[in-house]
Structure 1
Amino acid sequence: MSTLYLFAGAAEPVFDIARVIEEAQADGWDVCLGLTPTAARWLAGSLEGLAVLTGHPVRWDYAFPGEGEVWPEASAILVAPATFHTVNQWALGIVDEFVVGVVAEGIGKGVPMVAVPCLNAAYARHPQFERSVETLRGAGVFVLRGEGESGMGDAARFPWRVALDAVRELVAVG
Structure 2
Amino acid sequence: MEKEAQPPGTVKGTTLCAAGPHTPSMRTTGTTVTEGCRAVRKGFRDQQRLLIVAVVAVLLCCTAGRGDGPMRGGGTVSAGSRGVLGVVSTAADGVEPLRTGLVEPAIALGWQVAVTLTPNAGQWLRANGELDRLEAVTGLPVRDTPRLPTEARPHPVANCYVVAPASANHVAKPATGIADNQALTQVSEALGTIGVPVVVFPQVNAAHVRHPAWDRHIAALRKADVEVIHGPDVWPLHEPREGPAVRQLPWTAITESIQHVTARAARHPL
Work out whether the TM-score is over 0.5.
yes
Q: Distance in 2 between matches of 1:107 and 1:12?
A: 24
Q: Distance in 1 between matches of 2:176 and 2:185?
A: 11
Q: Map 1:145-164 onto structure 2 (within 5 A).
A: 145-146=230-231, 147-148=234-235, 150=237, 153=244, 154-156=246-248, 158-164=249-255
Q: Distance in 1 between matches of 2:116 and 2:170?
A: 13
The answer (yes or no) to whether the contact 1:116–1:149 under 8 Å persists in 2 is no
1:109 matched to 2:205? The reply is no
SS at match of 1:140: coil
The answer (yes or no) to whether the contact 1:36–1:60 under 8 Å persists in 2 is yes
Deviations 1:98-123 (A, max 9, x none): 11111111122121000000012111
- Bigger drift between 123-132 and 77-86 goes to 123-132
- Bigger drift between 138-147 and 79-88 goes to 138-147
TM-score, normalization: structure 1? 0.93
Higher helix share: 1
User: How far has the Cα of 1:13 moved from its partner?
Assistant: 1.5
Cα separation, partners in 2 of 1:55 and 1:150, compared to 1, 3 Å: farther
Deviations 1:59-89 (A, max 9, x none): 1111112322111110100101111000001
Q: Distance in 2 between matches of 1:129 and 1:42?
A: 27
User: How far has the Cα of 1:142 moved from its partner?
Assistant: 0.9
User: How far has the Cα of 1:160 moved from its partner?
Assistant: 1.0
The number of residues matched between the two structures is 173
TM-score, normalization: structure 2? 0.61
Q: Map 1:87-126 onto structure 2 (within 5 A).
A: 87-110=171-194, 111-126=196-211
Counterpart position of 1:29: 111
- Bigger drift between 147-156 and 98-107 goes to 147-156
Gaps spanning 5+ residues in structure 1: where? none
Counterpart position of 2:125: 43
Q: Distance in 1 between matches of 2:141 and 2:223?
A: 32
Q: Distance in 2 between matches of 1:59 and 1:163?
A: 21
The letter of the residue matching 1:167 is I
For 2:89, which of 8, 11, 14 is the aligned residue?
Answer: 8
Counterpart position of 1:133: 218
Q: Distance in 2 between matches of 1:49 and 1:16?
A: 11
Counterpart position of 2:154: 70
The letter of the residue matching 1:169 is H
SS at match of 2:158: coil
SS at match of 1:155: coil
The answer (yes or no) to whether the contact 2:197–2:262 under 8 Å persists in 1 is yes
Gaps spanning 5+ residues in structure 2: where? 1-79, 266-270
Structure (1 or 2) with the larger CA radius of gyration = 2
1:171 matched to 2:255? The reply is no
Cα separation, partners in 2 of 1:35 and 1:114, compared to 1, 3 Å: same
User: How far has the Cα of 1:173 moved from its partner?
Assistant: 1.4
Moved >2 Å (runs of 4+)? 146-155
The answer (yes or no) to whether the contact 1:9–1:39 under 8 Å persists in 2 is yes
